[in-house]
Amino acid sequence: MKDSKTTDKLTEFLKSGIYRFEDSNAVFIDPIRVLNRSYSRFRVSPSAYYCRRFESTCPPEPTVASSSRKRKRKEKKKPQALNDREQVADRRHQEVRALLVKAHESLMRSSEVLEVMSNLRGSETWSPGVEQSFVELALVWQAPLYEISLNYKAGEDGGSHATQDCEQCVLPVFNNLVVNESSNDVEAEVLKSRYILPPKSSFYMSDMGQIRNLIPAESDCGFSVIVVDPPWENGSARQKLRYKTLPNHYFLSIPIKQLSHTDGALVALWVTNREKLRDFVEKELFPAWGVTHVATFFWLKVKADGSLICDLDLFHHRPYECLLVGIYHGKVMNFEQLLGSDHIPDNQIILSVPGDYSRKPPIGGLLQEFAPRLKGGRCIELFAREMTSGWVSWGNEPLHFQESRNFVIE
C-alpha cells in the first residue's frame, strides 16, 4: 500500500511530468506531460512522440551463428590503446558513472513511475506520413512568397491590434517573427499542411544568416534563458540523411551576448559525448560567447520498461548525452544576484524515454526552477524543431514537430 507521501509525489508527477528522486541527484521527465502543459485544446500524441524503436540502437552481440574464422580473427586482435582524447573521455565517463548508476537504480525502485511508463505510447495508432521539408522549401525562389495562416476560433482574440478584428492572420512564414499572442492553441496552415501553435509562443524560421534579426533593440528586452541544440557535424550517414549538420566554427558566430538580457542569461548547450567537441566548446565556443561553464547535466536514456537503451559502458555508444549549463554575466557579476538563493546543481541526472531521432526532452521549465529569478524573463531555443508556450523558437524548421498529425484533440 502506498503511503501518503508517495501518493502526493505521484500526483504531482502526473500533473507536472517531473518526478524527483530523494535518494539521488536525479529527476525523471515524462516529455508528454511536460509538453502538454503548453497546450489548451490539443495534446501531444504519445504514439507520435514515442515513434522510435531501440532494438538496434547498439551494436549486436556476437551470435552462435558467427563463423569460426571471424571469431578467431577477433580473438587475435589486441585491444587498442586509447589515444589522448579517448582517455579524457573515459575519465569523464568514470567520474560520473556512479551517479548514473545510482540514478538508474532509483528509477528501477520507483514502482509507481515504472507503472506509468508501462503504457507510454497509449492505445492510439500513428502513421508517419509525408513531412513537409521547410529546409528544402526555403531554397526555392518562391520562398519569400510563402505564407502561414493563423486561424483563430470565433470570438478568440489574438491579443494585438493586428488580430483583434479578424479570425485569420496571414504572415510570411520565412524570415519573419510569427507570434501567437492568444491564450489558446492556434491552428495554422502552410501549403495545405496544418500546424498547432501553443499559446503565447512565437517562431522565426530562417537560416544562420538571419539570426541577428532576433537581437532586441534594447538589451533590457533580451533573453534570460537561452537553450541551444546545434546540428553538430557528425560522420554518421544516418544522421546526415535526417538533417543537415554544420561545421563547428559556424556556431562561433551565434550572437549570444547580443541576444542575452542586459543583466545576464542562463545558457544551456546540448553536446554529444565526442571529446573533440567538448574540447571545442570549453576552449573556443563558450569563451567566444562570453559564457562561463557552471554545471553539466546528463540525459540518461531509458526504455519504457526502465532499462537503459544500451549498455552504460559501451565506449562509442553511451546511453546518455550532456547538457552544458553556463552563465553569460552581463551587468551582474555575482551568481547569487542572478540566480537568487538557489544554485545550479552540477551533475544533475535527467532520465526519460527518448522521442524521435535527436529530439531532446523539454528541460526549459527545469532550468527556470534552478534559476528562480529568471522566471518571467524571455526565453529562446536556438535550432529548435518544436515550440513551447512562452518561448521563442528559432531555426530552419521550428515547425517540424508542430504538424497536426502529431497531436490529438482533448
Cell numbers representing residue 385 in the block: 524543431
Closest of 2, 25, 32, 8 to residue 352, by C-alpha = 32
DSSP letter string, 249-285 = GGGGG--HHHHB-TT-EEEEEEE-S-HHHHHHIIIII
DSSP state of 316: T
Cell numbers representing residue 403 in the block: 504538424
DSSP state of 17: S
Question: 300 pairs with which residues across the strands?
Answer: 320, 351
Q: What is the amino acid identity at position 167?
A: E
Residues 6+ apart with CB under 8 A from 25: 99, 103, 345, 347, 348, 349
Cα–Cα distance, 326 to 217 (Å, whole number): 24
Cα–Cα distance, 196 to 259 (Å, whole number): 26
pLDDT reported for residue 166: 56
- Positions of the chain with pLDDT under 70: 1-3, 5, 53-79, 122-130, 154-166, 235-243, 332-342, 372-373, 375
Look over the chain and give the mean of its residue pLDDT values, rounded to a whole number.
84
Question: What topology is assigned to 148-409 in CATH?
Answer: Rossmann fold (3.40.50)
What count of other Cβ atoms lies within 10 Å of the Cβ of residue 316? 10
Question: 83 pairs with which residues across the strands?
Answer: none
Cα–Cα distance, 377 to 400 (Å, whole number): 25
Cell numbers representing residue 277 in the block: 567537441
Does residue 222 contact residue 265 with C-beta atoms inside 8 Å?
Answer: yes
Cell numbers representing residue 140 in the block: 526555392
pLDDT reported for residue 22: 86
pLDDT tens profile 303-350: 999 999 999 988 778 999 999 999 998 776 565 566 654 578 889 999
| Straight-line distance from the first to the last Cα atom of the chain, in angstroms, rounded to the nearest whole number | 32
Residues 6+ apart with CB under 8 A from 173: 146, 147, 148, 190, 205
Q: What is the amino acid identity at position 53?
A: R
Sign of CA dihedral 166, 170, 176, 177: positive
pTM > 0.75? yes
Domain borders along the chain are 148-409
